[in-house]
């Protein structure tokens, strides 16, 4: 699908002073119209903003084919962002969205020359001597190839580093995983690629390690003499909730088994490491 490229913004994200010497960052959420963006990526940026952990000079750009505005994205993300129940929270939420733009455009350089996004980059970067660009691909993996080409041809950072973040699953089988790796190799250096499984950071999963290894009682009895069986259950009470597209193409087994479930199994079953 082709669309006319357009740039929509609530207001220009202002650097506090006009600076030529400061480093800046641009974070592009590719697939900003989708489920992962509203459920995970934007709320994570919002959390960083609340904790004052975003860079001082940052622009966040939502990019997708749908003709949307920052206001649309803001409204879609509202249910997934915490801490906006009070007036202070709501004011902060408004301030957060002042750091955003939305650009509509395609994922394929045969049909879109990427100028709308390139223009948004140039407008912001004119204020800075150095600026990194980070692309978070919150889109189905079938678009990774054409997007990698787009980024490499039109959007690499001229005065900073370029990073591309991809979500699992990385391919549908061994061959398509190899094809994806070859494709990424063609356009990027390894340090430019971040492969992400955002569920690996779940607090509940992480806490299994401290439960086992930092607890004298459990550490002593967590072994085959005392445990007859381990049952790992995956429970969600949300239904598919906007993820039908992903589940239809990827499948629930590929989505969770070899990453989330096996990670839990490894945490439950691993032997405490010893040197030598």
**Cβ closest to ligand NAP, residue 19 vs residue 261:** 261
Is 84 or 166 the residue whose CB approaches ligand NAP more closely? 166
Stretch that binds ligand NAP, among 5-13, 17-25, 61-69, 208-216 (CB under 6 A): 61-69
Quick one: angle between helices 42-50 and 87-97, nearest 10? 120
Q: Are 166 and 137 in contact (CB under 8 A)?
A: yes
CA dihedral in degrees (234, 239, 241, 242; nearest 10)? 70
Query: Is residue 65 within the footprint of ligand NAP (CB under 6 A)?
Result: yes
154 belongs to the catalytic site? no
Q: Which position among 25, 26, 33, 184 is part of the footprint of ligand NAP (CB under 6 A)? A: 33
The Cα 100–Cα 124 span in angstroms is 11
Q: Using CB under 6 A, which of the segments 86-94, 133-141, 149-157, 179-187 binds ligand NAP?
A: 133-141
Give the separation between CA 110 and CA 271, rounded to whole angstroms.
Answer: 52
Report the residue number, 68 or 131, with the smaller CB distance to ligand NAP.
68
Site string for ligand NAP, 168-187 (x = CB under 6 A): xx------------------
- Compare residues 246 and 264 and give the one whose CB is closer to ligand NAP: 246
- Tell me which residue of 49, 47, 133, 39 sits closest to 79, measured CA to CA: 39
Nearest to 130 by CA among 15, 23, 14: 23
Binding to ligand NAP in span 224-243, by CB under 6 A: 243
Q: Using omega within 30 degrees of 0 as the cis cutoff, is the peptide bond preceding 230 cis?
A: no
Least CB distance to ligand NAP at residue 72 (A)? 11
Neighbours of 105 (CB within 10 A): 24
Residue 21: strand, helix, or coil: coil
**CA atoms within 13 Å, Cβ hemisphere of 128:** 25
Quick check: 143 binds ligand NAP (CB under 6 A)? yes
Instruction: Classify strands 6-9 and 100-104 as parallel, antiparallel or unpaired.
Output: antiparallel
Interaction between residue 5 and ligand NAP (CB under 6 A): no
Among 15, 22, 47, 66, which residue interacts with ligand NAP (rule: CB under 6 A)? Answer: 66
Q: Which of residues 75-114 bind ligand NAP (CB under 6 A)?
A: 107
The catalytic site residues sit at: 260
Which residues form the interface with ligand NAP (CB under 6 A)? Answer: 31, 33-37, 64-66, 107, 138-141, 143, 167-169, 243, 245-246, 250
């Amino acid at each position: 699908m082709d669309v006319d490229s357009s740039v929509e913004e609530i207001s220009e994200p202002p650097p506090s002073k006009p600076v030529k010497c400061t480093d800046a960052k641009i974070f592009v959420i590719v697939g900003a119209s989708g489920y992962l963006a509203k459920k995970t990526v934007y709320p994570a940026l919002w959390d960083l903003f609340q904790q004052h952990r975003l860079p001082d000079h940052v622009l966040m750009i939502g990019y997708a084919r749908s003709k949307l505005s920052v206001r649309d994205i803001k409204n879609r993300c509202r249910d997934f962002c915490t801490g906006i129940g009070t007036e202070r929270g709501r004011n902060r939420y408004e301030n957060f969205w002042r750091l955003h733009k939305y650009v509509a455009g395609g994922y394929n350089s045969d049909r879109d020359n990427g100028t709308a996004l390139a223009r948004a980059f140039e407008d912001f970067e004119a204020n800075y001597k150095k600026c990194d660009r980070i692309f978070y691909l919150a889109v189905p993996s079938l678009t990774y190839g054409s997007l990698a080409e787009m980024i490499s041809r039109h959007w690499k950072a001229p005065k900073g580093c370029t990073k591309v973040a991809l979500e699992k699953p990385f391919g549908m089988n061994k061959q398509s995983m190899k094809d994806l790796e070859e494709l990424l190799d063609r356009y990027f250096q390894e340090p430019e690629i971040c492969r992400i499984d955002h569920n690996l950071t779940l607090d509940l999963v992480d806490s299994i390690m401290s439960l086992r290894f930092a607890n004298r009682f459990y550490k002593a009895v967590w072994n085959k003499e005392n445990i007859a069986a381990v049952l790992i259950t995956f429970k969600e009470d949300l239904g598919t909730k906007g993820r039908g597209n992903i589940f239809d193409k990827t499948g629930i087994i590929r989505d969770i088994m070899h990453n989330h479930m096996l990670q839990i199994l490894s945490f439950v079953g691993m032997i405490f490491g010893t040197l030598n």
